[in-house]
Amino acid sequence: MDAGTEISLYLIRNLGALLLLVIVMRGILHASRVNFYNPFSQMIVRLTNPLLTPLHGILPAKGRIDWAVIVLAVLLQSLILAGIALVAGERWALPGIATLAAWGAIGVVALLVNLYFFILIAMIIVSWVAPGSRHPAIELIWQIAEPIMAPCRALLPNMGGIDFSPILVFIGINVVQIGLRHLALTLGLPPGLVFGL
């Protein structure tokens, strides 16, 4: 592989992943019903509005699901994978549109699961280091984590003030990651192309 190809692959992967991360975060903020006046929420909304505003006219959000975010995220992940295939050339062939869309969906779900993993890690660390902090980033972490933590908390008996619900969530995350890896192998997704698989 020559330097130009390697630089191109690096830029496609990393710039695409950064844009995809911001778009998926927008979907997480919507699904979690976070405070949109939080400065971090406002930053993500401003960054994603140019891409999502036209799509919202066609695909409006329904309840906690922002369909425009889902469609844009899968499309972007598919384009990233197609770009990698075109630049890599003979290393792997460009699949059909349906397979590419399935790979894109797997990539978006893998990113979403990994984001929740890191958000939960951050929540646990913050609960030890700065409990009760009112910093906007910490409030955002709590608001994003709470919708997935509350159902797990309801399943567990009262443990005397110790919250074991993150353990259940981590088990669920690992189960989903295993399922995604096997689904990716079944669909022929080359290993290492999608973050977290």
For the segment 92-106, what is each residue's pLDDT rounded down to a tens digit?
A: 667 789 999 999 999
What pLDDT is stored for residue 197 in this prediction? Answer: 66
**Res. 80 pLDDT band, cuts 50 70 90:** very high
Q: Could you tell me if residue 169 is inside a domain?
A: yes
- Mean pLDDT in residue range 122-140: 87
Q: Could you tell me if residue 17 is inside a domain?
A: yes
What pLDDT is stored for residue 130 in this prediction? Answer: 81
Q: Could you tell me if residue 34 is inside a domain?
A: yes
- Structurally, the chain folds into a number of domains equal to 1
Show the domain range for 78.
3-186
Q: Could you tell me if residue 132 is inside a domain?
A: yes
Q: What does pLDDT average to over the chain?
A: 89
**Res. 196 pLDDT band, cuts 50 70 90:** low
Q: Could you tell me if residue 193 is inside a domain?
A: no
Q: Could you tell me if residue 191 is inside a domain?
A: no
Q: Could you tell me if residue 130 is inside a domain?
A: yes
Predicted confidence (pLDDT) at residue 157 exceeds the cutoff of 80 = no
Q: How far is CA 172 from the centre of its chain?
A: 16
Condensed to tens digits (0 to 9), the pLDDT of residues 23-51 reads 999 999 999 999 989 999 999 999 999 99
Q: Could you tell me if residue 19 is inside a domain?
A: yes
As a whole number of Å, the end-to-end CA separation of the chain is 24
Give the amino acid at 86: L
Task: Give the whole-angstrom CA distance, residue 134 versus residue 128.
Answer: 14
